[in-house]
Amino acid sequence: MTAAITTLVGLLCLSLGEPGAPRDDRLTQSAGVTGPGDTQLAEPLPAGLAESEASTPAPAAEGSGSVPAVPGASDPPTVTDPGAMMILVHVAVDRLLSERIAGFGAALEELLAAEGHACVRTEAGNGFQLDLAPELGERLARHAEDLPLVMTETGPGRYRFELDPGDAAQSASWAIDSVMSTIRSRLAGIQLLATVVRYGEEDLLVTIPQAAAEQLEEITRLIESPANLEFRGVHPQDATYWIAASDLLPTNSRIVLRNRALESPSYDLLAAFLAVLRGLDPGSPGSLPPGATVAIEETEVFEPTTGQALERQTLYRPVLVDEVVEMTGEHIADVQVEVDDYIHRPYISVTFDAIGQETFCDVTRRYQGQMVAIMLDGAVLSAPVVQEPICEGRCRIALGGHTYESLYQQAEMLAILLRHGSYPAPAEVVWTHIPGAQP
């Protein structure tokens, strides 16, 4: 009952969610990639998974781009100032509304289950349907009466629910306003003054007079990143699972087994292989353990004699993490870029508010002696071992980078994203005009 009430409170409350911390050895970073010993594996690659050159996303096209097939996106605007950078951003409020209605459905299902009543919940158009014993209809109506839902009886013991149109409109408007404010703040973090206005029903038009063409990639990353920070436990089988999963790899694969972990220089190839693993039937060889999911961590290649990271040599490795999210970035009070005095590497220093401090203390107490994955937008930033509970309300996030300059730039970008919070709904750049390009 408590979990269901907590879920309802979270759904009903639409809200967004000390510098110079000393070196903290209570979080020991997971080991980097060292030494030889690739193990090439000799099983055929599962159907649909082909070797590919991996790596970086395609660069943005220069000039004024056309709007791709994004549902709900507006037509491109007229370029009124050729010297300014203009960016059209689509806010996927439909995703927010889908998650909101699904959350209400799960909460009602939990409330009934807590009272000992069974029901079946299925998706139905823009809402959901509940099937239960006909005599429970009045009880269900009482549970739903304070929720922003429209309830319709479509048959004996069958009820359809949709979001109240007024609530849906309010949620969508709030999401767009929130994304608009966050974009403005993120760009201010890199010293760019932007005008952000609504354009169409679900789009925003960003105009940046001072931006240079070469800043487009950085600006796009700042705009599109959801900035969802998560702390998850590393699954207990992480050290053994990849040995079994490696049996599905082909001979001479660019994904190899090293030190009981998989790694590859190709992000795309590794991501495709993980998609195959996620799709395996439970209990079949290589299938994910119950309660686990997979994420990718970017690692460095180290020179074996000096221990120094080699420039421009990056590997990607999968990490088996728990499905349960122990903590998010909702209760961050401050984010700063600091430099470790011992190893002379920049890192992110995060300070939590009172609620975050208590939560982080509890998480590190429960995971003492175990690894916790610190993740941003589904990617693992680091996976340190918790040496002892950390209850002062601070956390440091170590990052991977081949040079001091690249590492510091990465840390500054991450600090900006975390400092200004995550989006309530995904944002996607669907059109750009680069300064000086022909409209």
- In a domain, residue 334? The reply is yes
Which of 163, 179, 212 corresponds to the end of one domain?
A: 163
Question: 378: Cβ–Cβ under 8 A, 6 or more apart, which residues?
Answer: 228, 295
CA distance 311 to 35: 16
- In a domain, residue 5? The reply is no
Q: Which long-range contacts (CB under 8 A, 24 or more apart) does 39-43 make?
A: 39/246, 39/256, 39/257, 39/258, 40/251, 40/252, 40/253, 40/256, 41/246, 41/247, 41/249, 41/250, 41/251, 41/253, 41/256, 41/257, 42/249, 42/250, 42/251, 43/247, 43/248, 43/249, 43/250, 43/251
- In a domain, residue 157? The reply is yes
Which domain, by its residues, includes 216? Answer: 63-91+164-225+423-439
Q: Around Cβ 9, how many Cβ atoms within 10 Å?
A: 10
CA distance 333 to 325: 20
CA distance 146 to 151: 12
**What is residue 263's three-state secondary structure?**
strand
Specify the pTM: 0.73
**Residue 61, pLDDT above cutoff 70:** no
The pLDDT assigned to 339 comes to 92
What is the DSSP pairing of strand 119-124 with strand 127-132?
antiparallel
DSSP 8-class letter at 64: S
The pLDDT assigned to 72 comes to 62
Note whether 259 and 379 are same-domain residues: yes
Give the mean pLDDT of 329-334. 93
DSSP 372-406: EEEEETTEEEE--EE-S---SSEEEEE---SSHHH
The pLDDT assigned to 34 comes to 30
Q: Around Cβ 376, how many Cβ atoms within 10 Å?
A: 20
The domain tally of the chain equals 3
Give the mean pLDDT of 212-216. 92
The pLDDT assigned to 260 comes to 87
Q: How far is CA 103 from the centre of its chain?
A: 19
**Residue 239, pLDDT above cutoff 90:** no
The pLDDT assigned to 65 comes to 54
**Residue 107, pLDDT above cutoff 60:** yes
The residue with greater pLDDT, 305 or 159, is 159
The residue with greater pLDDT, 125 or 328, is 328
CA distance 402 to 439: 39
Give the mean pLDDT of 407-427. 90
Note whether 277 and 403 are same-domain residues: yes
Note whether 201 and 113 are same-domain residues: no
**Residue 50, pLDDT above cutoff 90:** no
Note whether 185 and 288 are same-domain residues: no
At 260-303, the pLDDT tens digits run: 889 999 999 999 999 999 999 999 999 999 999 999 998 876 55
- In a domain, residue 219? The reply is yes
**What is residue 424's three-state secondary structure?**
coil
Note whether 215 and 77 are same-domain residues: yes
CA distance 120 to 335: 44
Nearest Cα to Cα of residue 139 among 117, 171, 172, 165: 117
Note whether 387 and 316 are same-domain residues: yes
- In a domain, residue 13? The reply is no
**Residue 97, pLDDT above cutoff 90:** yes
- In a domain, residue 187? The reply is yes
CATH code, domain carrying 190: 3.30.70.3400
Numbers of helices and strands, H then E, in the chain = 9, 21
Average confidence score pLDDT of the chain: 82
Give the mean pLDDT of 322-334. 94
**Residue 146, pLDDT above cutoff 60:** yes
How far, CA to CA in Å, does 165 sit from each of 14, 152, 169, 355, 430?
16, 14, 6, 34, 27
Lowest-confidence segment of 50-54, 131-135, 208-212, 275-279 by average pLDDT: 50-54
The residue with greater pLDDT, 121 or 33, is 121
CA distance 102 to 202: 21
**Residue 304, pLDDT above cutoff 70:** no
Q: Around Cβ 318, how many Cβ atoms within 10 Å?
A: 24
How far, CA to CA in Å, does 196 sit from each of 86, 88, 223?
10, 10, 12
Note whether 365 and 434 are same-domain residues: no
* Dihedral pair phi/psi, residue 329, rounded to 5°: -90, 20
How far, CA to CA in Å, does 400 sit from each of 345, 383, 406?
10, 12, 9
Give the mean pLDDT of 46-57. 40
Note whether 159 and 211 are same-domain residues: no
DSSP 289-351: PTTEEEEEEEEEEE-TTT-PEEEEEEEEEEEEEESS--EEGGGEEEEEEEE-TTT--EEEEEE
- In a domain, residue 4? The reply is no
* pLDDT over 70, % of the chain: 79
At 366-398, the pLDDT tens digits run: 999 999 999 999 999 999 999 999 999 999 998
> What residues does 395 pair with on adjacent strands?
350
The H-assigned helical ranges of 136-266 are 137-144, 165-188, 216-224, 238-245
What is the DSSP pairing of strand 292-302 with strand 379-382?
parallel
Note whether 400 and 251 are same-domain residues: yes
**Residue 66, pLDDT above cutoff 70:** no
CATH code, domain carrying 288: 3.30.1360.200
**Residue 29, pLDDT above cutoff 70:** no
The pLDDT assigned to 345 comes to 86
CA distance 413 to 126: 37
Note whether 248 and 352 are same-domain residues: yes
Note whether 39 and 84 are same-domain residues: no
**Residue 47, pLDDT above cutoff 50:** no
The pLDDT assigned to 251 comes to 81
CA distance 117 to 264: 49
The residue with greater pLDDT, 22 or 408, is 408
Note whether 158 and 169 are same-domain residues: no
Q: Around Cβ 28, how many Cβ atoms within 10 Å?
A: 11
- In a domain, residue 326? The reply is yes
Q: In this structure, is the dihedral angle defined by the CA atoms of residues 248, 254, 256 and 261, taken in order, positive or negative?
A: negative
Lowest-confidence segment of 16-30, 342-356, 406-420 by average pLDDT: 16-30
